[in-house]
Chains A and B, each alone.
Chain A
C-alpha cells in the first residue's frame, strides 16, 4: 500500500518554509496542494439514523396516498417544498440544507445496507474498503493530531457496528463510544498522578527510542506515533464534557442523549476533529411505525435544527458538512402492525452546510413513493457528492498493492445540483 499523505507533506512544506518562503509558494501552486488547501479546516458530522428512518415520515411525505400514513405535510420556508409535519423545526431551517429524495441503493438488509451506506460501495471479497469516517479522517485530518480525528458515538446496542478503516490502516479507526459519553481510557486513572503518568511516558519513550530508530520500520513507527498522541488525546477529554457549556446551550440541545451527543459533536468539530458520527438508533419500525417516528422524529427535528443553528451562529456551518443518513428507508406499504419494513429502492437523506447548495430538493419519487422517477442516485453517487462538497476530488485514487481504487465507487458521479 502506498498512501501519500498530502497533509503531512504540506506540513513538511510549512516547516521548510521557515528556511525558504519560495519553496512553500511553489508547492502551493501545484494542483494537489491547492486541493489540500481547499479542504483544510473542514469537518463532517454524520447523524446516522440507524435501523432505517422512514422517508415518508421525514423528507418525502405522501399524505393522502394509500402509502402516506396519517401524518400531514407542512409547507417549509422554501416555496413549494413540503416535508412531514413531524419535522416542524427543520421546516424553517432548510436554507443551508439539500434534501435528496432519490436514493436507490437496492440493499434492504441491515448488515449489507450498513456496509453499503458506510463505505459507499458493496463488499468485495479480498479487499477491505474503509468507511466514510476513516476516509475523511485520512483526507481531512493530521497524522499527528492532538485531538481525535474520528469519533464515533453509538451508545445503543442494536445494530452497533464499529466498521474498520480497511486498507487505510488502524491509524484511522474511530474512537468508538459505546457506553459512556467519553471515550474509554482517555482519562487519567486515579492510581497514578499526572506527573508520574507524564514521566512514565517519557521513560517509555527513552527505553523505546533506540529500538525504534534501529528497526526503522513503519509498523514500529506507528506504535511510537500512537503513544505520542496519548497525552494530547487525554488533554482533549474536556471536549466530551458538556458541563463546560453554558446552561442555556445545554438546554437548547435538550435532555435527550441524542441532543447531548450532538452538542459533544459540535464541541469536537469546533476543536478541529474532522469527522464525528452520532448514531441515533433504532428506527427499525416493523411495528408501530407512526408512534416510533412520532418519538424519534421529534428528537431528530429538535437536535438537528439546534445543531444547524449553533453551527451557523458560530460561523462553522460553511466549513462543516452535516449529513443525515441511515442504511435504507422504509416500505411505502404499511403492514398489519402499522409498521413499515426495510426498503432501499426510493428513499431520502439530507446534506447541510459545507459545500452544499442550500434550499435544494433533488430527485423525485412516484406518487406512492415506490420508485425513483427523477435523479436516481446510488451510494457511490452520494459519496462522490459528499467528497466534492468537502473539496476532495471524487476521482482521487488510492493504490492498494498494484490496484488503483477510486475514493468513490467505480462509475459514480457527484450530484452537481446539490453542490454550491
Chain B
C-alpha cells in the first residue's frame, strides 16, 4: 500500500505542502520569547548583563540556569495538570470554568483525610475529624479526592449532556458551588499537617513528574484511542457524531469526569506541595488552565488542539511569567501583560488559520 502514499486516483500529492503542525509554531514562539527575554537581559541597563537562560555565575554544573528552569516548570506543572483536562473539554466543544474552585474544594476534603495525629508530640491543632481519620495510608486521601472529582465532573457532564444548558453556565454554577464547599468544609479554617506519605506526593520535583506522566497518558488517550477520536468528532461536528452512532451524551459526561479528576489530582499535588489546604487556593486556576490550552492552539470552537500543544502552551505561560519577574516588571503590569498575551495568541492563531484556509 506504500505506493498510495502519494495520493490515490492518480492525483499527485506534494509532500512539501504538507500541513505544518501547529505545535511547531508554538515551539517557535516559545524559543522566540526566551530569546527576547535573553536579549532584554543584555539591553536593559539595570539588569547588569544577567542571563535569562544560561548560568553566568557558575552556580551549576550545566550551562543553563537550572534554578530558573526548575522554577518555571514547577510553577506550571500543577495548573498544567488541570489544563490537560480542560484541553479535552474544549476539544469536545465545551468549556470548564469550575476547575479552579474544584481544586480548592478537593484540597480541603482530601487534606482532612491526610492529617497526622501528632505534630511534634502534640495533637494536630488543625484536625478536622476524630482519630479515625488520622494517619491513614496515602491511598485513602488520593482515592477520596479522585472520587470527589469524578462526582463533580459527572454532575457537570450530566447537566450539559442531558439538560442541554450551555457548558459555560453549568460550570459557572459549579464554580460557585465548589468555592462554597471549600469554605463550608472547615468554616474557612485551613487544613494542615499531612502525613509524610502524603507530603511526598508533591515534594521536590514530584509535581513535574506527575505532569509529564499525565501528559503522556492524556496524549495517548486523545491520539490513539476511540475515546479521543470521538472527543474530536463531537467537538468538530456534533450532529455528524450523533448520526455516526456515537453516544454523544455519555461521551460528554466521560470527558467532564476525566477533566475534573485531573483537576482533583492537581489539588492533591498542590495541597501536598504546600503542606496545607485553604479555601481560597486555586484562584484564577481555571482561567490560567484555559489560557494554557488556548496559547497551545486548542480552538474554543472545538475539534482542534492537542496535548503536545497544551504542554507547550503551559511552557510559554511559565516562561513569560518567569521572564516578567526576571526583567523586574511590576507585579500589577504582569497580570495585565498576561491578558494581552492571551489575546494576541488567539488573534495570531486565527490569522494563521485564515491564511491556511485561503491558501488551500
Partners in one complex: no
A residues lining the B interface (CB < 8 Å): none
B residues lining the A interface (CB < 8 Å): none
